[in-house]
């Protein structure tokens, strides 16, 4: 196992080892290269500074040294590294070998799991004492600090060694701040955590309020300044001359008296009043000043806050299954209270009254030594990071959680900014603190965003809704399913009726955020598929998308007759599959403006795939969500700029939207042996062929209602409609010659279609076509059933050219028209060249 880092002092030898990190390093360098990011300086922090007995060493897979020379071995507080060696999701073995007799040693990390992974072994059989452990960085990025306390020769020492864990899938110092900014606008303070392996410099928060984790993080960084200022105050508390009034007898009056008081005393003696008391105003030094009242208030509140933290965390941490905090962290919280308690025990504070605010600015608090330090610290604690900026280090939730919530909010931004939706319900404020003072999202549809568009389309975006066996609308029959993101779009009733439904049509797309990338070939990949150098989503993520789509079933109430009592006759619910697509979101990097999505074909064919998603960086010249945006625009469309249609009649865009979703290849895949159609009574109008060269008996069969076959050139059909429509047509409205006007034809019969087949023209018999032909051109041959008669024929059907007579409609629409121009068309999305 290569030794990545070696620091040697007179007291100990510190080493970090890991399995080969070559692949991680190559992935990181490729990410930095494609992102055109030079990265930031990589170094290791050491506090307090070490006196090294030899130059630090570090090797990558036994190759050249990774470390730069240290200028002063006697004072080393930073070790610079040429190449990063600490990455996410990597296992590291870390060891302190004590070169002197160490009685005990322990790690003082906040996380109990990190502390428990280190074991101290006493020296025996000539082997030095050592503290050894392993750390898997997982999805925690940021600064990993290892504070170790050890005892040498009866003296306790503490040493901090910290290094930055870097992500390999994104540019940490570009992408993460952009994600934090997006999350903080919607979920302020959600990303902060009490205890994780790593910590990061926290960016300024927009929210003020009593957020305990933020207060605690700031107190930890400002504690020493606060305590030092209090020491100065206790040594020389501020006091000032304050007037006091005493009631004194005449016999005890001293010094020179005022003329008025002397006259009063003289008058009282003349009247025989010798025991009367007189008000004498004096000035004396007092510590009961507004400044000391402020200090007493600040210390008292800090002490109470820390005590409340400690009590709550100890109670929460008592449960074995919830132990996240190490004993050293809880002891540290307790030790922070001791100096504050000592200050509150000072005798001069007993004379100080309750703080009621400052009537004016105090130069003492702003300028006097001790007071100014305590005052500034308190102001920073009071306003959290609004004043502090980037000076406080606090744990952040894992980057996988950050990426998941950011993807959720990225979809929200697309709906609002690009697709024309307006938010009508915002449940983002429903954040609650858990027992570790961390904010948690209220997942599921209860915490969803709801949107509405000017054309009546509504949308709902939910984070981690749970679909169970007891679901009333969408159910998972065997195992509960919990996708990361669910987008549900609902069309208004008039748009639904346009596609043959009296219910509101709902369409569901699922997204699962995966903070993982597949860059190496697996055994499931085709041998000729180019994997190297391209960011793909892992295979198991794609498999999970198939699982989600197959597992979820929509239950719809059947339209059934009512019983005599008025109750609905019990019948099983109608089942359908609601998911129109399931997609993984992953942090792959592509120039999406010029590069096609590697999953585009699969998305179009089966509705399963993935979208690379990263924050857009304008200065880098790429958009990180263009593929996802274009997909959603194609599926949902944008808000219309002007209204189309009048009254209650459905306008074209909404009807087209529903048809467009149903006409997609992925939405029309039925079970083998079954058909799947959008309109159960889809009708195609067409005129009969010309009479030249054909047997008159062929046309007489259509007039008499005994015809059994109708044929149409494939080229003519595809010039008008898409190929799949031939299998969905249920009726043919065939136009015959009109008696009133020979230039047009009329429709008076509807012919049920039993079967449609594609055959060469020469296989169609004279009886089926009215004449024989040797042509090999492909024709659609429709087998017809007994015709239905229209009460009112449809007239003025054009027949030259034939495509002018071809129109897709339904039975109800055809029955309501008398002129061919009045026949309402459907399935505009099925046209070979859709109308836009």
pLDDT digits (tens, 9 = 90+) for 177-191: 888 888 877 877 677
User: Does 404 share its domain with 356?
Assistant: no
Give the whole-angstrom CA distance, residue 463 versus residue 444: 5
Of all residues in the chain, what percent are helix, strand and coil, respectively (each to 5)?
Answer: 30, 30, 40
- Reply yes or no: is the peptide bond before residue 801 cis, omega within 30 of 0: yes
Model confidence pLDDT, tens digit, residues 724-770: 888 889 999 998 875 555 567 889 899 999 999 999 999 999 999 98
Beta strand ranges found along 230-276 (DSSP E): 240-249
pLDDT at 216: 64
- Paired tokens of 41: 């300086």
Per-residue pLDDT, averaged over 123-138, amounts to 89
Does residue 672 sit within a domain?
A: no
Please tell me the least confidently modeled range out of 400-414, 624-638, 659-673. Answer: 659-673
pLDDT at 657: 73
Mean of all residue pLDDT scores within the chain: 79
pLDDT at 683: 92
DSSP state of 647: T
**Residue 259 or residue 4, greater confidence:** 4
- Paired tokens of 429: 């404020």
What SS3 state is found at 750?
strand
How many Cα atoms within 13 Å fall on the side-chain side of residue 247?
3
User: Does 260 share its domain with 229?
Assistant: no
> If you count them, how many residues does the chain have?
836
Position 346 pLDDT exceeds 90: no
399-413 vs 172-186: helix crossing angle, rounded to 10: 60
Beta strand ranges found along 12-153 (DSSP E): 12-18, 42-50, 76-81, 91-98, 102-107, 118-121, 130-136, 142-152
Q: How far is CA 388 from the centre of its chain?
A: 27
Give the whole-angstrom CA distance, residue 539 versus residue 531: 12
Positive or negative CA dihedral for 521, 523, 529, 535? Answer: negative
User: How much of the chain, in percent, has pLDDT values that exceed 70?
Assistant: 79
Q: What angle do CA 708, 710, 714 make, to 5 degrees?
A: 150
Q: pTM value? A: 0.70
Say how many domains are in the chain: 5
Helix-then-strand count for the chain, H and E? 22, 34
Is residue 542 within 8 Å of residue 522, measured between CB atoms?
no
Q: How far is CA 641 from the centre of its chain?
A: 30
pLDDT at 783: 93
Is residue 362 within 8 Å of residue 302, measured between CB atoms?
no
Is residue 136 within 8 Å of residue 89, measured between CB atoms?
yes
- Paired tokens of 520: 């190496």
Model confidence pLDDT, tens digit, residues 350-393: 888 888 777 777 888 888 888 888 888 877 766 543 333 333 45
Is residue 453 within 8 Å of residue 639, measured between CB atoms?
yes
Give the whole-angstrom CA distance, residue 554 versus residue 576: 5
Q: Which of 133, 149, 168 is the last residue of a domain?
A: 168
Per-residue pLDDT, averaged over 694-708, amounts to 89
Task: Name the residue among 514, 508, 505, 504 with its Cα closest to residue 487.
Answer: 508
Please tell me the least confidently modeled range out of 34-38, 274-278, 405-409, 418-422. Answer: 34-38
User: Does 702 share its domain with 621?
Assistant: no
Distance (Å) of CA 160 to CA 47, 77, 149, 217, 334 = 5, 10, 9, 18, 20
pLDDT at 648: 41
pLDDT at 652: 41
Does residue 692 sit within a domain?
A: yes
Q: Which of 579, 602, 636 is the last residue of a domain?
A: 636
Q: How far is CA 335 from the centre of its chain?
A: 38
Positive or negative CA dihedral for 418, 424, 426, 427? Answer: negative
Task: Name the residue among 388, 403, 441 with its Cα closest to residue 214.
Answer: 388
Q: What is the distance in angstroms between the CA of the first residue and the CA of the last residue of the chain? A: 64
Is residue 720 within 8 Å of residue 730, measured between CB atoms?
no
Task: Name the residue among 293, 289, 327, 296 with its Cα closest to residue 310.
Answer: 327
Position 561 pLDDT exceeds 50: no
Q: Kindly list the strands in the beta sheet with 393-396, ordered across the sheet, starting from the edge strand earlier in the chain.
A: 192-193, 393-396, 200-201
Is residue 222 within 8 Å of residue 380, measured between CB atoms?
yes
User: Does 133 share its domain with 18?
Assistant: yes
- Paired tokens of 680: 């159960």
pLDDT at 530: 53
Q: How far is CA 484 from the centre of its chain?
A: 8
Distance (Å) of CA 635 to CA 415, 445, 507, 509, 658 = 12, 22, 10, 10, 9
Position 624 pLDDT exceeds 90: no
User: Does 112 share its domain with 244?
Assistant: no
Q: Which of 604, 636, 668 is the last residue of a domain?
A: 636
Give the whole-angstrom CA distance, residue 192 versus residue 214: 8
User: Does 441 share its domain with 323?
Assistant: no
- In sequence order, the 6+-apart residues with CB closer than 8 A to the CB of 175 are 587, 614, 615
Domain of residue 41, residue span: 3-168
Give the whole-angstrom CA distance, residue 664 versus residue 683: 20
Position 566 pLDDT exceeds 90: no
User: Does 690 share its domain with 709?
Assistant: yes
Please tell me the least confidently modeled range out of 117-126, 657-666, 712-721. Answer: 657-666
Backbone angles phi, psi at 323, to 5 degrees: -80, 100
Does residue 381 sit within a domain?
A: yes
Does residue 340 sit within a domain?
A: yes
Task: Name the residue among 619, 654, 607, 594 with its Cα closest to residue 453.
Answer: 654
Position 101 pLDDT exceeds 50: yes
Task: Name the residue among 119, 113, 109 with its Cα closest to residue 145.
Answer: 109
Bridge-based pairing of strands 130-136 and 192-193 is unpaired
Per-residue pLDDT, averaged over 206-225, amounts to 61
Task: Name the residue among 551, 535, 518, 631 with its Cα closest to residue 583.
Answer: 631
pLDDT at 765: 92
User: Does 108 share its domain with 126?
Assistant: yes
Q: How far is CA 738 from the centre of its chain?
A: 64
Per-residue pLDDT, averaged over 298-317, amounts to 78
Give the CATH number of the domain where residue 743 resides: 2.30.130
DSSP sequence for 338-356: HHHHHHHT-HHHHT-----
Task: Name the residue among 109, 107, 118 with its Cα closest to residue 325.
Answer: 109
User: Does 371 share its domain with 478?
Assistant: no
Give the whole-angstrom CA distance, residue 5 versus residue 85: 9
Position 116 pLDDT exceeds 70: yes
- Paired tokens of 107: 């790690």
Which residues make beta-bridge pairs with 167? none
Q: What angle do CA 145, 150, 156 make, to 5 degrees?
A: 115
**H/E run at residue 644:** none
How many Cα atoms within 13 Å fall on the side-chain side of residue 630?
15
Does residue 624 sit within a domain?
A: yes
Task: Name the residue among 512, 482, 483, 440 with its Cα closest to residue 187.
Answer: 440
Give the whole-angstrom CA distance, residue 780 versus residue 768: 12
pLDDT at 148: 92
Helices (H), 437-524: 493-497
Distance (Å) of CA 670 to CA 264, 487, 577, 677, 678 = 114, 23, 11, 9, 12
Position 493 pLDDT exceeds 90: no
User: Does 568 share its domain with 601?
Assistant: yes
Give the range with max mean pLDDT: 232-246, 312-326, 713-727, 735-749: 713-727
Per-residue pLDDT, averaged over 591-611, amounts to 90
Which residues make beta-bridge pairs with 710? 782
Model confidence pLDDT, tens digit, residues 50-79: 888 888 887 655 555 667 777 778 888 888
Position 91 pLDDT exceeds 50: yes
pLDDT at 415: 92
Position 145 pLDDT exceeds 50: yes
Does residue 665 sit within a domain?
A: no
Which residues make beta-bridge pairs with 65? 59
Is residue 455 within 8 Å of residue 651, measured between CB atoms?
yes
Model confidence pLDDT, tens digit, residues 451-492: 999 888 999 998 888 898 888 888 898 889 989 999 999 988
Which residues make beta-bridge pairs with 808? 684
DSSP state of 626: H
pLDDT at 438: 59
User: Does 118 share its domain with 251?
Assistant: no
Does residue 614 sit within a domain?
A: yes
Backbone angles phi, psi at 659, to 5 degrees: -65, -40
pLDDT at 544: 92
| Burial of 265: CB neighbours in 10 Å, binned 0-12, 13-18, 19+ | middle
Does residue 48 sit within a domain?
A: yes
Position 649 pLDDT exceeds 50: no
pLDDT at 443: 59
Give the range with max mean pLDDT: 325-339, 560-574, 789-803: 789-803
User: Does 591 share its domain with 458?
Assistant: yes
Distance (Å) of CA 538 to CA 530, 584, 631, 727 = 15, 9, 21, 37
């Amino acid at each position: 196992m290569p030794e990545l880092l070696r620091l040697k002092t007179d007291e100990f030898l510190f080493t970090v080892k890991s399995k080969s990190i070559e692949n991680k390093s190559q992935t990181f360098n490729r990410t930095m290269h494609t992102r055109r990011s030079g990265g930031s300086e990589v170094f290791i922090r050491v506090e307090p500074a070490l006196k090294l007995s030899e130059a630090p060493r570090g090797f990558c897979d036994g190759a050249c040294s990774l470390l730069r020379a240290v200028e002063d071995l006697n004072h080393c507080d930073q070790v610079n590294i040429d190449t990063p060696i600490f990455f996410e999701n990597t296992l590291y073995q870390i060891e302190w070998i004590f070169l002197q007799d160490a009685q005990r040693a322990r790690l003082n990390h906040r996380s109990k799991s990190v502390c428990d992974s280190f074991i101290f072994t006493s020296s025996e059989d000539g082997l030095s004492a050592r503290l050894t452990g392993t750390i898997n960085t997982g999805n925690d990025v940021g600064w990993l600090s290892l504070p170790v306390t050890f005892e040498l020769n009866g003296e306790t020492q503490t040493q901090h060694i910290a290094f930055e864990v870097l992500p390999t899938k994104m540019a940490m110092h570009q992408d993460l701040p952009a994600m934090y900014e997006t999350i903080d606008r919607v979920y302020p303070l959600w990303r902060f955590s009490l205890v994780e392996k790593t910590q990061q410099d926290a960016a300024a928060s927009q929210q003020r309020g009593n957020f305990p984790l933020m207060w605690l993080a700031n107190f930890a960084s400002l504690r020493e300044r606060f305590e030092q200022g209090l020491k100065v105050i206790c040594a020389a508390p501020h006091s000032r001359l304050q007037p006091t009034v005493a009631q004194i007898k005449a016999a005890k009056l001293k010094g020179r008296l005022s003329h008025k008081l002397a006259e009063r005393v003289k008058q009282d003696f003349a009247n025989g009043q010798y025991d009367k008391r007189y008000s004498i105003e004096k000035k004396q030094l007092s510590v009961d000043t507004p400044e000391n009242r402020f200090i007493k208030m600040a210390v008292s509140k800090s002490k109470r806050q820390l005590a409340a933290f400690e009590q709550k965390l100890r109670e929460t941490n008592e449960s074995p299954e919830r132990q996240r905090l190490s004993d050293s962290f809880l002891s540290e919280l307790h030790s922070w209270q001791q100096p504050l308690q000592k200050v509150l025990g000072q005798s001069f504070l007993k004379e100080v009254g309750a703080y009621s605010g400052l009537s004016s600015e105090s130069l003492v608090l702003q300028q006097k030594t001790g007071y100014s330090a305590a005052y500034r610290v308190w102001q920073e604690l009071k306003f959290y990071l609004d004043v502090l900026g980037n000076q406080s280090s606090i744990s952040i939730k894992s980057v996988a959680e950050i990426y998941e919530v950011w993807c959720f909010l990225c979809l929200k931004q697309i709906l609002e900014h690009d697709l024309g939706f307006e938010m009508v319900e915002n449940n983002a404020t429903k954040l609650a603190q858990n027992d570790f003072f961390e904010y948690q999202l209220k997942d599921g549809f209860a915490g969803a965003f709801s949107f509405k568009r000017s054309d009546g389309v509504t949308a709902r975006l939910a984070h981690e809704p749970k679909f169970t066996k007891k679901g009333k609308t969408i159910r998972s029959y065997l195992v509960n399913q919990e996708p990361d993101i669910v987008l549900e779009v609902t069309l208004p009733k008039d748009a639904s009726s346009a596609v043959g439904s009296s219910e509101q049509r709902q369409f569901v797309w699922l997204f699962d955020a995966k903070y993982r990338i597949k860059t190496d070939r697996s055994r499931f990949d085709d041998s000729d598929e180019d994997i190297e150098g391209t960011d793909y989503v892992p295979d198991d993520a794609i498999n999970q998308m198939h699982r989600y789509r197959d597992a979820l079933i929509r239950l719809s109430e059947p339209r059934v007759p009512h019983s005599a009592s008025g109750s609905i006759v019990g019948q099983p619910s109608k089942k359908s599959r609601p998911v129109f697509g399931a997609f993984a979101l992953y942090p792959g990097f592509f120039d999406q403006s010029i590069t096609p999505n590697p999953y585009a074909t699969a998305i179009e064919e089966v509705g399963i795939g993935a979208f690379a998603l990263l924050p857009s960086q304008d200065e880098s010249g790429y958009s990180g969500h263009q593929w996802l945006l274009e997909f959603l625009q194609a599926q949902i469309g944008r808000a219309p700029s002007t209204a189309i249609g009048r009254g209650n009649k459905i306008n074209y865009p909404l009807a087209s939207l529903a048809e467009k979703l149903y006409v997609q290849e992925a939405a029309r895949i039925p079970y083998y042996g079954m058909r799947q159609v959008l309109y159960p009574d889809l009708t195609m109008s067409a005129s009969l062929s010309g009479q030249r060269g054909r047997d008159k008996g062929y046309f007489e069969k259509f007039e008499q209602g005994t015809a059994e076959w109708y044929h149409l050139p494939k080229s003519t059909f595809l010039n008008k409609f898409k190929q799949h429509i031939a299998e969905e047509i249920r009726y043919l409205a065939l136009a015959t010659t009109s008696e009133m006007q020979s230039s047009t034809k009329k429709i008076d019969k509807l012919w049920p279609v039993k079967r449609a087949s594609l055959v060469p023209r020469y296989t169609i018999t004279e009886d089926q076509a009215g004449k024989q032909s040797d042509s090999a051109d492909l024709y659609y041959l429709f087998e017809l059933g007994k015709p239905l008669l229209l009460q009112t024929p449809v007239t003025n059907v054009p027949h030259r050219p034939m495509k002018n007579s071809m129109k897709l409609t339904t039975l109800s629409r055809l029955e309501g028209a008398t002129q061919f121009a009045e026949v309402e068309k459907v399935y505009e999305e099925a046209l070979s060249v859709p109308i836009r």
